[in-house]
Amino acid sequence: MVVNVGIIGTGAIAKKLAKAINCVDGANLSAVSSRTLDRARHFAEEFNVSLWYEGLNDFLNNTDIDLVYIATPNNFHYQNTIDALNSGKSVLCEKPFALNYIESKKMIEIAEKKNLLLVEAMWTKYFPGIKRVKNILDSGILGDIVTVHGDLSYLLDGKDRLFDRRMGGGALLDLGIYPITVMHHFMGNPENILASSQFTETGVDESTSMIFSYKSGAKALISCSINAKSTNEFSIFCSKGWIRLNDNFTRPTSISYFSQKSGERHEQFLYENLGYEYQIEGVLADFNGNKTESSTVKQSDTLEIMKILDIVRNKVGLSFE
Ligand SMILES: NC(=O)c1ccc[n+]([C@@H]2O[C@H](COP(=O)([O-])OP(=O)(O)OC[C@H]3O[C@@H](n4cnc5c(N)ncnc54)[C@H](OP(=O)(O)O)[C@@H]3O)[C@@H](O)[C@H]2O)c1
């Protein structure tokens, strides 16, 4: 079955996903909505989209759209998702899913009521490299996790939307969410959280460092920033060895690991384009399987991540009001 996908927003990530959607069999990029008709038309021409709209009303009234991909800034995810669900469409919503746990919970409740698929676009979870590391850790050959180091940082221009507090800016929600999600995927929910941030003049976190403690005694040291260059690696040190998602762990192309039993090994995970296709294929499979939640990005995990982000924000004093 061909799934008609409509995109809200024409920015950086919308363009990358449009390219990916056009590469996946069974996906038809059928419509785009922008704040201006001009930008919508340009986007449609560039990515071979047959319908373009100014604003949301007519876009949402198009009953041929099956799935809406939301690619707007963080503060719009909540309302865009609710509007799309209320128009009877399934939704793939960019990360962070919303600004906080309460918004996220309401979005999921509406999707449940409407019996529609609602997925957080946490593309990292769909990569073969991430699945492989999970399998190796679950196999027990590395023993117990003792310490984890994960960082995602980029040196951004002060004009970037991430410096805008009202848009839910800052390092934590856009970047920190990745190492937190990967930690949560491998280790589950932490018991205790310590956090400290450095703030920009605009009132968002320029950098945030966190220590997550687990019942087992394991600790995860997670950091993110918008004013640093980083190796963007994710390392896990265990009682019988170690494993590392090499640059860039959000879309891994290689992993390295060492176990006492088999020594050091390296594995490559090559893919074409940027790898967004994995996410699109996964979401289409769930949509075609009449699922109301993703088999890869569980709604309960999304909610736990949003709760962790709320706790960290509360500890460091990061508010979007
Ligand atoms: N999964 C990933 O790898 C990944 C990577 C980057 C970003 N993201 C996420 O994707 C979302 C969008 O990020 P982005 O980097 O693509 O942002 P962006 O380049 O600024 O694009 C956002 C788009 O949203 C639309 N928009 C609607 N209302 C807006 C407003 N008041 N101000 C600005 N834009 C508005 C705009 O399209 P129109 O002008 O056409 O309306 C704009 O181009 C964020 O939530 C971000 O966290 C995900």
The answer to whether residues 110 and 48 belong to one domain is: yes
* Residue 83, ligand 1, Cβ within 6 A: no
The answer to whether residues 43 and 114 belong to one domain is: yes
What length does the chain have? Answer: 321
The CATH number assigned to the domain holding 53 equals 3.40.50.720
Do the Cβ atoms of 82 and 107 come closer than 8 Å? yes
The answer to whether residues 133 and 206 belong to one domain is: yes
Do the Cβ atoms of 25 and 282 come closer than 8 Å? no
Closest CA to 101 of 321, 311, 319: 311
* Residue 232, ligand 1, Cβ within 6 A: no
Tokens of 131: 């699945």
Identify whether 140 is part of a domain.
yes
What average pLDDT does this structure show over 108-133? 98
Identify the pLDDT of residue 272: 87
- Note down the domain range covering 134: 127-270
The answer to whether residues 117 and 38 belong to one domain is: yes
The answer to whether residues 104 and 164 belong to one domain is: no
- Chain-wide mean pLDDT for the chain? 97
Q: How many domains does the chain have?
A: 2
Identify whether 148 is part of a domain.
yes
Q: How confident is the model at residue 247 (pLDDT cuts 50, 70, 90)?
A: confident
The answer to whether residues 66 and 201 belong to one domain is: no
Query: For the chain, what percent of residues have pLDDT higher than 70?
Result: 100
Identify whether 312 is part of a domain.
no
Identify whether 300 is part of a domain.
no
The answer to whether residues 89 and 171 belong to one domain is: no
Identify whether 193 is part of a domain.
yes
Identify the pLDDT of residue 96: 98
Q: What is the rounded distance in angstroms from the CA atom of residue 14 to the CA atom of residue 30?
A: 14
* Residue 169, ligand 1, Cβ within 6 A: no
SS3 (DSSP) at 155 = strand
Q: How confident is the model at residue 292 (pLDDT cuts 50, 70, 90)?
A: very high
The answer to whether residues 110 and 178 belong to one domain is: no
What is the per-residue pLDDT across 158-180, written as a single tens digit (0 to 9) for each? 889 999 999 999 999 999 999 99
Please tell me the least confidently modeled range out of 32-36, 111-115, 210-214, 269-273. Answer: 269-273
Identify whether 307 is part of a domain.
no
* Residue 34, ligand 1, Cβ within 6 A: yes
Choosing from 10, 13, 104, 123 the residue with most ligand 1 atoms within 8 A of its CB, the one to mutate for a pocket test is 13
Identify whether 156 is part of a domain.
yes
The answer to whether residues 141 and 219 belong to one domain is: yes
The CATH number assigned to the domain holding 191 equals 3.30.360.10
What average pLDDT does this structure show over 262-283? 96
Query: For the chain, what percent of residues have pLDDT higher than 90?
Result: 97
Identify whether 302 is part of a domain.
no
Closest CA to 308 of 150, 207, 198, 183: 183
The answer to whether residues 93 and 185 belong to one domain is: no
